[in-house]
Structure 1
Amino acid sequence: MKYFLCALTFLTRIPIPANAIDQPDSFKKSIYFFPVVGLIVGGILAGSYYLLAKIFPQSIAAALLLFIYVLLTGGLHLDGLIDTVDGIYGGRSREHRLEIMKDTHPGAFGVLGAVVILLIKYSIYTQLSSDMLVILIAASVMGRQAMVWVQIFYPYARKQGLGMLFNIYGNIPLFGVTTGITMVILFLLAQINGLYIFLICSIILFILASWLSHLLGGLTGDTYGASCELIEISALLTGLLLVL
């Protein structure tokens, strides 16, 4: 249970007792629960949107859902996206890109990237109906699972950093367990469409992570967050196309 609570407190702003993560290995083992946390986040978003859409016009409900998403996650993954976009588009070399990504002040490229992502999410939210809310849950699960995969298959680009908390590079058993959990969740949510979402997002993630790793000599905590956001968007778009 403590590993689940550790994953929940790392990926969300849901209040968790401080003693829930009192062991040094809590972070490393908590990653088994990333897809489950995605299920919880997605469930909260789906439930919130269902209620909001009954009270407000769809455009307002979508805007409020976006606000709830940022509150629920603390903007953690969005912050990683901002830093990643800043580094990729502002840097001229591997070292320069990594240095830019360490800067706590967002640059113009990063802010623009965040605005584009939020606009796309908002646009997708406005297209959702009450019988399509499983897409929100599926996207949330895929986004968190993406963070597991990129840590397993791509080395860490720095000698130290937040991403070193997990240190799961090359952990194939972890890949098997979390992938199995993710596929079961997606199938139960959307049957064959859930597996299509899984397959398409997996391909997109491989292309994205390989490109980022080529530019940075590995991946960082910021790119983990960026992967989560971009795969969420990919899953939302894929799910929307499959049901329209």
Structure 2
Amino acid sequence: MHTSGISLRQEWQAFWLALGFLTRIPMLARIDYSQALMNQSSVYFPLVGLLLGGLYAALFYGLNLALNPLICILLVMSFHLWITGAFHEDGLADSLDALGGGYTVEARLRIMKDSRIGTYGTVALVMALGLKAALLVDIDQIWLALVIAPCASRLTPLLLMYLMTYVTDPDKSKSKPVAERFSGARLWVASFFVLGISLVLWAWWPLLAVPILIAVAVVTFCWGRNLKRTLGGYTGDALGASVVFTELALLLVMAFA
């Protein structure tokens, strides 16, 4: 019983740690911080995404009572950038700057650590945000896309963490706490959670799991293969970029459906 109590307390702390790591939402629980707990918290990334998606959908619903859908989407996206601190978008910009401007692994990693944004990162951000807004406008059930995209997209970095190695020196990286290899058991838990949510939403979008699986699989394979070729593994910024890519891929599939 004592061991179980410790385990449940650790899981509770891991959830709040994940929420605090990915968002600006205050952690309302006492955290016995450790690198192991931070790594353990990764399993809750899709759950944090679902909570964010619920906020986005509720905000869109309220705004849509008075404004047209495009304005609502842009305001929701602005809220997303604020509440997450543009966490994943920053990773996208840094990753594209590094891969576009560096000709060696060392140069790419050095550029990726630079806080300044370059041409490649700027273009990537503009195109990603513009494409996201355009795809959301083109989807019939915008609220559903707002709910599921943040949840499903956060499964991709877990797959990359499980399948690949971390290439940046963890002692000098802001992503040190999540740099350890992600366990297979927790990956299965996160995967079944995302697929379970798709079943809950069956009434509004039957077979929602199909576009989710397509988006996650395609980005994991393509982005992961590119990272392996150009960096030899993943970085924290590359994981953030994978979230943005998966969101766009999922919205694209949903727009075609």
TM-score by length of 1: 0.92
Alpha-carbon distance in 1 for matches of 2:148, 2:70: 22
2:159 is the alignment partner of 1:159 = no
2:215 counterpart residue number: 201
Deviations 1:140-178 (A, max 9, x none): 111111121111111001122233312442621122111
Sort the Cα spacing of 1:240 and 1:21 in 2 relative to 1 into closer, same or farther, 3 A.
farther
Q: Distance in 2 between matches of 1:214 and 1:3?
A: 33
Task: Give the superposition deviation at 1:128.
Answer: 4.2
5+ residue gaps, structure 1: none
CA–CA distance in structure 2, aligned partners of residues 100 and 177 of structure 1 = 35
Structure 2 distance, partners of 1:72, 1:239, is 25
CA distance in 2, matches of 1:141, 1:186: 10
Candidates 225, 231, 237, aligned match of 1:222: 237
Give the direction of change, closer, same or farther, for the CA distance of 1:10–1:186 in structure 2 (3 Å limit): same
Matching residue of 2:4 = none
String of CA shifts for 1:67-95, please: whole Å, max 9, x gaps.
Answer: 11101211000000000000011111111
Aligned to 1:177: 189
SS, match of residue 201 in structure 2: helix
Aligned positions of 1:135-146 closer than 5 A: 135-146=145-156
Distance 1:140 1:152 in 2: 20
Aligned pair count reads: 240
Report the CA distance between 1:192 and its aligned residue: 4.2
Over residues 175-211 of structure 1, what are the superposed CA-to-partner deviations in whole Å (9 max), with x where a residue is unaligned? Answer: 2111111111122224643211222113212221121
Q: CA RMSD in A?
A: 1.6
Cα distance in 1 for partners of 2:206, 2:90 equals 33
Detail structure 1 runs of 4+ shifted over 4 Å in the superposition: none
Q: What pairs up with 1:24-173 in 2 under 5 angstroms?
A: 24=34, 25-129=36-140, 131-160=141-170, 161-169=173-181, 171-173=183-185
8 Å contact kept, 1:138–1:235: no
Report the more deviating stretch, 110-119 or 151-160.
151-160
Structure 1 residues 62 and 147, CA gap change in structure 2 (3 angstroms): same
Q: 2:21 aligns with which of 10, 14, 36?
A: 10
Maintained 8 Å contact 2:153/2:216: no
* Residues 55/20 of structure 1: CA separation in 2 closer, same or farther (3 Å cut): farther
Seq. identity, %: 29
Unpaired segments ≥5 residues, structure 2: 1-11
Q: Which has the higher helix share?
A: 1
